[in-house]
Chains A and B, each alone.
Chain A
Amino acid sequence: MSETLTAPTNIPRLIQDEIEAPPLSLGRLTWLRFRRHKMAMFGSVMLILLCIYSIGGAFVYTEKFANDTDASLGMQAPTLTHPFGTDPVGRDVLARTIYGGQISLLIGITAVLIETLAGILIGAAAGYFGGWLDALLMRFTEAMLIIPEIFLLIVMAKEFGGKFPSVAIFGREFSGSVIVIVVIIGLTSWMYLARIVRAEFLSLKEFDFVLAARATGTSNAGIIFRHVLPNCMAPIIVSATLGVANAILNEAYISFLGLGVQPPTATWGNMLDGANNYLETAPWLWFFPGALILLTVLSINFLGDGLRDALDPHSRAV
């Protein structure tokens, strides 16, 4: 635009009255609605406490202590020295739930990142481009859906588990099986999200603002990621939140079956694996990890529920 341009003077300018007072921003509105959802608030507080528990607890007990075996101390019921008791090889259950919590939460979150990434890419490509690509991707999604997820998990865990060396992240040594489990869970749970994203794209791509964006020369990638995707963030956020709970449960399943994260690295799931022989004789072995899984999954589901209501643009309640 050249320098000589001036703002028009002969055109009636908008007067101050016509400009609305800035309404609540989306984030603020979401927070107001979320705050009124009591269960969701309970869930969020609980999750924060659980994070403090598994991260803060690491400052009280060292990982070496959590993995330290001493058969002579095995199978002790909760006492003051071992508040959650000890397992058959004498490891402290409290310390192990702390370090297991880190792994379980980490698996939950990273698996969901993979799931979300795969779901968004596949759903967006199918919904936006349509045609044969849509048909191909959706048939693939359905093919993945008809195989029971737990079966896929078991087969993939058996196939790939234990084939990767340990890695160090954040100064902690992780068994290679953690990464395998994360990838496996991520790759077996993206299908529902892909369908949600596809459905959103199918309707959003017909909107005028997409046409307007194309008319200003925006590329396909620009339209997909800058114009359409932000419009379907609400269902994605909700789905991802609930996905974390699902991933933690999935990890528990396969670890319980002995195919998940391999000891000595603790997770809530593989702690249950060791406990099933002592259901009646040593209930502290399964009660504490089990209760933590239950609490986490419940809290995340409450949180997801609250987010769903809070992010719903049709909900007018503030």
Chain B
Amino acid sequence: MMWSEAAPSRSLMTPMAVEQTDAQLVARCRAGETAAWNELVERFSRYVYAICVRGFRLERQDAEDVFQDVFSRAYERLADLRSDEALRPWLAQLTRRLCVDRLRSLARNAPTAAEPDESVADETLAALDEALAVRAALEALDEPCREILDRFFCRDESYATIGEALALPAGTVASRISRCLAKLKVELEGRHGPSEPSGRVR
């Protein structure tokens, strides 16, 4: 593939002026747009990271190696992807395989280490798929809501830290989080519809 343009700098939350489908993103990557590759990495970095550290509980160094390996292989093999819409499951499968390989390699070098329990990882991966859907809905909210929910829930920042960063009193932070969470709920219901408890999240 040929690539153009320099990588843009990252902000806390990347604005998603126009939400593109995974297929559109893959097509732009194939056309050689560096910005599209940056966006692909941005879109799936949390997902790949979470599979490594939550699904397979890799230590930081191992998780970093797998993380880079996933995107390296994805970059090499994007042209071979059979269906552009299948990007997420393809990345999930690739990450899973590389995590298992890493754990098996570690187990060979430390015979007391347990073999990877893929059934536990299966449950976590199913929940991560849901989490990614919530993440996509979050990206559709206005920027102030995206930022405050990301800071509070994903980055685990306190009311005080958020208040300082956004120049808001703690009480306003709390009420804004509550209001934005309600907006996110409406956005999700608009996308997927209410009811049917799944109970996957542990």
Tell whether A pairs with B. Answer: no
Chain B: residues with CB nearer than 8 A to chain A?
Answer: none
Residues of chain A at the chain B interface (Cβ within 8 Å): none
